[in-house]
Copies of this chain bind each other. A is one copy, B any other.
Amino acid sequence: MRLSRYFLPVSKETPANAEIVSHKLMLRTGMIKQHSAGIYSWLPLGLKVLQKIEAIVREEQNRSGALEVLMPTMQGADLWRESGRYDAYGAEMLRITDRHERDLLFGPTAEEVVTDIFRNHVRSYKELPLNLYNIQWKFRDEVRPRFGVMRGREFLMKDAYSFDLDEAGARDAYNKMFLAYLKTFQRLGLQAVPMRADTGPIGGDLSHEFLVLAPTGESGVFYDAVYDETDWAGMDISFDNNDAARAKRAETVSRIVKAYAATDEIHDEARFNAEVPAERRRTGRGIEVGHIFFFGTKYSAPMNAKVSGPDGKDILVQMGSYGIGVSRLVGAIIEASHDENGIIWPEAVAPFKVGVVSLRAGDEAVDQVCEQAYQALSQAGLDPLYDDTSDRPGAKFATMDLIGVPTQLIVGPKGLANGVVEVKDRKSGSREEVSLESALARLTDKAKA
């Protein structure tokens, strides 16, 4: 993308009303624009990051065997009356009346809708296990929306729902999501720690939340260093539905959760000190980015979601649900990864992997080298951002660092006179003079890796 044709309304000013760094940086980089309290547009830079996160979440859901559907944002109140949640949910549910005076609501979650799909279309235990997920906008009418996309009202969530014949099957569905989540977050450049959690308004008797460490997190966290040290993305997990794979998953999850990890709500200092050697104790604050639940027949019973079992008798299905806060992750990644100059994107979600900075647009040699680099990097799939504007070099450097372009190729007339360009690493700030050829070779090699 040529910056002259892009829409990147960056701002030098720190926005009023933004309390946390991700909110400030998302406004300053022109990633989002607020329209009403907790309701945002995603501008090109922000949407690009959101879509990259979404794609990784989708890939790992598909890998786990979950099937993608898309449920509507508008849900009929009758389904929620069946489950008993319509009256129970409270003021966070946005309740709506249509022109025919029928009650609708903007879905904050979709247990009822997915159970309606299931009971209409699935008849036999042979069609199980089944896990349906969607990545869809949700709405919660927060009383005081704040922190930008971290606690907005309209937000993008991945929510999956599993259906199994018995509790053992449902626990395996839970284990699949547990392991898929660890891999998903690590691919996003985050070290997320799974912690046993309360089930809250979703219900059920088994639940974990996944927390990303950041100083602005809403919960205090206490955990064993093993959660920082393990390469979850590299785990070799089979999602097959045979007994050996099931046993392996159960064994892996129970090994993982054996290590201590708790939020301040349920933290047990005595147990923490007893179980975890002092040098392995980690404390800090965490942002919730995922939450998984097993809740048995909480929805299948009132909504009558049954299959015929092997003996021909009807059996209520065992269910779980599994959420990832996709739009919230944009903020969480920034909270976890930034410095005084701006955002430091993990490679996997960087909106542009490489920047090309022209130090003198209009200089024939500089233009020609920039153009050559831009074409080569584009062809290598690196989706470069080429600052072809006539802004001052200082402003250009500041923008590239602010929006967090991981590697920056800097081209100026002085360097070219010596046959070199500069390659800058956003994270370390290190700059190196090399020939154009070796700079391009290094960058395109990285793309292939």
- Chain A residues near B (Cβ < 8 Å): 5-7, 9, 30, 33, 35-36, 39-44, 47, 50, 65, 67-76, 79, 91-92, 94, 96, 98-99, 102, 104, 106, 113, 116-117, 120-122, 127, 130, 132, 137, 139, 141, 143, 153-154
Contact = CB atoms under 8 A, between A and B. Distances in A.
A441 to B, nearest CB: 28
Contacts of A120: 9, 33
Contacts of A36: 74-76, 102, 104
Contacts of A71: 41-42
B154 A74 contact: yes
A158 B73 CA distance: 17
Contacts of A92: 99
Contact of A99 (B40, B44, B67, B91): B91
Given A9-B122, A41-B71, A42-B71, 6 more contacts: A9-B121, A33-B116, A36-B76, A41-B69, A74-B139, A137-B137
Contacts of A74: 36, 39, 94, 106, 139, 153-154
Given A30-B121, A74-B154, A96 B99 contact: no
Given A39-B74, A74-B39, A7 B67 contact: yes
Nearest to A120: B33
Contact of A39 (B72, B99, B139, B141): B72
A314 B336 CA distance: 42
B94 A41 contact: no
Contacts of A70: 41-42, 47, 50
Nearest to A33: B117
Contact of A94 (B79, B91, B98, B116): B98
A132 B8 CA distance: 12
Contacts of A44: 67-69
Nearest to A42: B70
16 contacts: A5-B65, A7-B130, A9-B121, A33-B117, A35-B72, A36-B102, A41-B69, A41-B70, A41-B72, A41-B113, A73-B154, A74-B106, A74-B139, A91-B99, A92-B99, A137-B137
Closest A-B pairs by Cβ, 9 of them = A9-B121, A42-B70, A36-B76, A41-B71, A91-B99, A39-B72, A99-B141, A44-B67, A72-B154
